[in-house]
Structure formats: structure tokens, C-alpha cells
Amino acid sequence: MFRKILSGFGLFALVVFLFSLPVRAETNGWVPLAVESSLDFGTHRTERLSFGVPVIGVVSLADAVFIRGRETSFLIRNRERKEVKDIPTSALNPWMFANNGSRIVYTVSDSASAGTVSLVELNPKEGIEAELLKHVYLGGKNLTAVVDGKAYAFNPEYQASGAYRQAGVKIWNKASGQAEVILRPWESKTLRREEVQDISGNLVLYKMIFESGQEELWIGDAAELTTTAVRGSWIEPDGDIEAPHFLKDGTVEFFKNFVRYTYHPATDAEAVRHEKDVLNWYRPATDSIQISGNRMAWLDPNDRLFVSEGSEVKEIGTAAGGKFLLQEARIFYASGEKGIAYDFASKISTPISFSVSDAIGEHAVGLDKAGNVWYADLSTGKSLKLGFGAFPVISDATHVYWQGVDGQAYGATISPAAQTSVMPARAIKSSLAKTVHLLKNGARYSIPDESVYFSWFSSWTSVELMSEGDILSIPSGGTALFAPGTTVKAQDSPDVFLVGKDSKLHWIPSQPVAIRVLGPNWKKGIVTVAPKMLFDYVMGDFIQTEKDAATF
């Protein structure tokens, strides 16, 4: 009888599945990842990927992952790739990405009109470019575009004088429909190069570099078409200005000759020097500074890690090897042979078994001291060793990418059982009784048999002895169900289900879906049970994608 119920449900679900699939006339350039070789470890599947070009790096910008070649890049999502040829290096620069409000914005030259460009923004989820402005005349090769809402600034190069190339700043004027020049390089008797850094409303922050090597920060006003030097930011040719950017209140924050400065145009006569906030001079500035929202993190010469937020500065710890990752709500850094996550709101530090290089939500990836690539679910403490290489990044809870020692790109797909976030559980029993209980979420659940027990625990050594009175004092939750991520089927029925985090049964409608979600060895580990064991479960939505398996 139960077989008929399951088979009937499977037929109904299959009909729904076929009629609910989205109709796509074209793929917008997205194609499946090309796989040269694959290994299935049960908990995850690791693949050596082929992109047809030499891979020079793997880049993560928020939720977007790019595999970079020398002349082209590939945007990655859900084991698919899309080639994107027009993205300049500046658009993938982490500083510029942060200053652009976590937006991937750049210009594309108009082949029909010299010196004219279109300003576009890439949607990393769809891989589609949206035109923000069309046919903008800049009169030169554009270097960088910065945005703040609908305020836009450009940075075109104009002319060369030996190795020195002049560049200016243009601000988009909505009223005139043109990019307006603030300072006119061709009218100056002194050669100079203006490099745009950040934009906040009508204000544009840029660095002035003179032919003789001196540098100075300037602020341009798009509304008034005026510009003013940031007093106290001038440096001689042997110095440098690093990571200049606006804070939310309009303050400019930057490093000058390895010391942190701040400057508010309305209240400061000149830039304020913060003597104790010193930048590491042994490492490149790009490795020593990170910006996220209103926070900036940096390393001092001893690799001590500091974070500024407005006027406040906090020492976080010492970053071993100078490794750290700043995100909006937290910061990760290497400590000894492991790592630490520090939460800004709770001020709590949590140890991690490796140094984190990228994280999304409660899922993180990184390297240990030996160069092994690791994945961890921070909510459960589960971790997996995926391979060996460099630059590991995570595109979602399911997929990880990195560059191998052979220079090729590698990817790993985490199995539902390994990526499922479940509350920590314990196995308990009384010395006076045979029943083993599952203790989770403050309740006890009687474990019906070994198949359910071993979906939660790897051996009987996990069982803890408690007094009968202590066990009875814990509220009963009924019978324990299979752990999330377990694949089950009833005897004499072909239908296979995945147990979700919601404890529901989610039907896997076909072998291609099973292979895509669970890997080529998907049949391994299926628990076959008597039909009556599944009566305690509620039927959930059926599974179509790996994301479904991680979400349900």
C-alpha cells in the first residue's frame, strides 16, 4: 500500500515538475563548466575545470566569483560560466569595488566614435550589463569610473609626455547631459595626472600626481564645478597616499607616508594626523588595507590588525602572515596555524580551524598553513578539506573555487549532508534502559533504530550515560527522524528522498537531478527502510537544483 502511495506521489510530482520548469529560449551566454576530471568524496565532489585559456587568478567580490584569464574573465554561478570580455582590471579592484558601494561599474568604448564611452553596471547574478549612461564623450581613454547612486565620475587620460601621462576628472552633469571637466589639464602650465578615488553625492575625491612626483588629494564639487585641495595631504616624490575614501559623514580617510589621516571639509582646516595609526611598510598597501562600508582595516609593521569606524579605532589582534578578511559585520584573521572570526556587534571572537579567505553567510573557505583548501559551516562547526592550492573563494553555500598548484582552476560542490546546518546534537541513554535518545533543541527524541542513529553520529562512542531521572526531566519530542542531508527510500519503491533541514522528505525526481545534486555516486549511502518508518514525515517540495538541497 505504501509503495502505491509513494509511486502515486512520484507520478504526481513528476507531472508538476515537467510543467513547472522555466522555459528559456536562450541562456544569455551561460554554459555549464567544462570539467577535465572529477573525484567524488561523498561529502563533496572536486573537479579540475577547463576554461580554454590560462588562468591567472580567482577573484571574489561579495557574491560574485570571477575566474580571470589574461585577456578575458569568466563569471561563475551554480556550476555555470559566462565569458565577460569588457571588464577592466580597475572594476575588479577590491578598493574600487568597496568605494563604488559594492557595484561592478566600468566603461565600454564606443567603436563608432573616438573618445566616447557607455557607462555600464554588471549584474553578477545574471551576468547582464545594464547601461547607466550612453554615448558619454570623454575625449580620452577612460581609466576608472566611480559611482554613488546616480552620481558618476570618470577618469580619462589625455596626452603623454615621456613616461608621464596626463589624466583628468570629469563629472556627469544630468542637466546638460554631459561629462563636465573640473580642472582643465591642457590649460595648466604644470603637467599633472588626476586619479579619481571615490565619490559621495556631488563630491569627488581624487589624487593629483604632478610630473615631478609630488601628490596631493583634491575634492571636486559636481554641482558647483569647483575643486579644493585637501590641506595637509601634500607629499614629496618619495612618499605616497594610499586608500583615500569617503566615510558616511563626508570625512576623508587615507594613509599618507604610512600614517592614517582624516579630513572633514566642514570642520577641519587641514588633514588630522593620527600618530599611533601606522601602516605596514613591509607589505604592499593592497595586502595591508581593506575597506568595507564605513570600516577600514589595516596591518601595522608588526602585523597587528586594526579597524577604524569613523573616529573610533580598535585593535583586533595579530594577523599571522598578514592574512585577514574584512566584511561588513565581521573580520577574519589568521592566528597561529588557525583562524579567528571577530563579530563587531557582539565583540565575540570565534576560533576556526583555518585562515579564512572568503565567506558568505555562515559558510567560509580558506587555507591552512600547509596550503590545503578548507570549507566550513560556521553555524555547526563542520569542516571539509577540499584540495590544495591558492585563492579559495565561495560563490554560495554549495560551491567553492580555487587555483591549483598546476595553475588550473578547481571547483568543489559540497554535498547536502555536509552543508546542511543543524543544531548540535547529543546521544544520551540511561544505564538502566536500552533506548538511546537524541538530545537537540532542549528536547529528547527516542531513536528507533541504528539507521537513524548513524545518520546523526559516526560511532556508538558518542553515547553519553545519564541518570534515568535526568533523562525523564528533559521534555520528550517524540521519535527521532533521520538527520538532514540523509537520502532515504522505502523498500520495494524506486522513489528516493532527501531529508531537509525542515525534517521533510524532498523527492529527487530523476537520475540527472540526483547526479547534479549528489554527485555521480549518489546511490551510495541511500538508507532503505520499511515503508511504515516514513509515515512520520511530511512531504516537502521536490528538488530541482543544488540550491534547493541546501535550502530545504
Residues 440, 427 contacting (CB under 8 angstroms): no
Contacts of residue 276, Cβ cutoff 8 Å, sequence gap at least 6: none
The contacts found for 102-111 with CB under 8 angstroms, 24 or more apart, are: 102/61, 102/62, 103/147, 104/61, 104/64, 105/132, 105/145, 105/146, 105/147, 106/145, 107/136, 107/138, 107/142, 107/145, 107/154, 109/142, 110/135
Adjacency order of strands within the sheet including 355-360:
355-360, 363-367, 372-377, 382-388
C-alpha distance from residue 509 to each of 3, 12, 14, 45, 523 (Å): 16, 11, 6, 21, 14
Distance CA 217, CA 215 (A): 7
Question: Could you give the 3-state DSSP secondary structure of residue 158?
Answer: strand
Q: Is 480 helix (H, G, I), strand (E, B) or coil?
A: coil
Is residue 16 one of the residues assigned to a domain?
A: yes
Residue written as cell 559585520?
329
How many structural domains is the chain composed of? 1
Give mean pLDDT in consecutive 10-residue pieces for the chain, a chain of 552 residues.
36 38 56 89 87 90 87 88 85 86 89 84 89 88 84 81 73 85 59 86 90 91 85 93 95 97 96 97 95 96 96 95 95 94 93 94 92 88 88 91 92 74 75 89 90 87 86 90 90 89 89 81 85 87 78 70
Around Cβ 272, how many Cβ atoms within 10 Å? Answer: 15
Dihedral of alpha carbons 348, 353, 356, 359, sign: negative
* Residue 46 amino acid letter: T
Give the separation between CA 374 and CA 357, rounded to whole angstroms: 10
Cα angle: 248, vertex 249, 251; to 5 degrees:
100
Q: Return the pLDDT at 164.
A: 63
Which long-range CB contacts under 8 A does 110-113 form with residues at least 24 apart?
110/135, 113/137
Query: Sign of dihedral through CA atoms 308, 309, 314, 315?
Result: negative
Return the beta strands (E) in 170-300 as ranges.
Answer: 170-173, 178-181, 192-200, 203-210, 215-221, 226-229, 241-246, 252-256, 259-263, 272-278, 289-292, 295-299
Residue 46 domain-assigned?
no
Our CA dihedral for 428, 430, 436, 441, rounded to 10 degrees, sits at -40
The answer to whether residue 10 is domain-embedded is yes
Q: Is the pTM of this model over 0.85?
A: no
CB 106 within 8 A of CB 91: yes
The residue segments making up the domain with residue 539 are 2-20+421-551
φ and ψ at residue 486, rounded to 5 degrees:
-80, 135
Note whether residue 115 is domain-resident.
no
Instruction: Please identify which residue in the block is written with the cell numbers 526531566.
Output: 473
The predicted pLDDT at position 4 comes to: 32
Say if 329 falls within a structural domain: no
Helix/strand/coil (H, E, C) string of 369-397?
A: CCCEEEEEECCCCEEEEEEECEEEEECCC
Strands 272-278 and 289-292: unpaired
Task: Look at residue 481 and tell me if it is in a domain.
Answer: yes
Contact 251, 239 (CB under 8 A): no
What lies within 8 Å, CB to CB, of 538 at 6+ separation is 503, 504, 505
The reply to whether 488 falls in a domain is: yes
pLDDT at residue 339 in the model: 94
What is the per-residue pLDDT for 163?
Answer: 63
Instruction: Give the span between the Cα atoms of 410 and 33, in whole angstroms.
Output: 11
The answer to whether position 26 is within a domain reads no
Per-residue CA distances from 513 to 10, 241, 301 (Å): 14, 53, 52
Specify the pLDDT at position 286. 92
Beta bridge partners of 61: 64
Sequence-separated contacts (24+) of 313-320 with Cβ below 8 Å: 313/274, 313/277, 316/342, 317/342, 317/349, 320/355
Instruction: Give the whole-angstrom CA distance, residue 62 versus residue 35.
Output: 25
CA distance 193 to 212: 11
| Burial grade of 331 (CB within 10 A; 0-12, 13-18, 19 or more) | buried
Residue 347, SS3?
coil
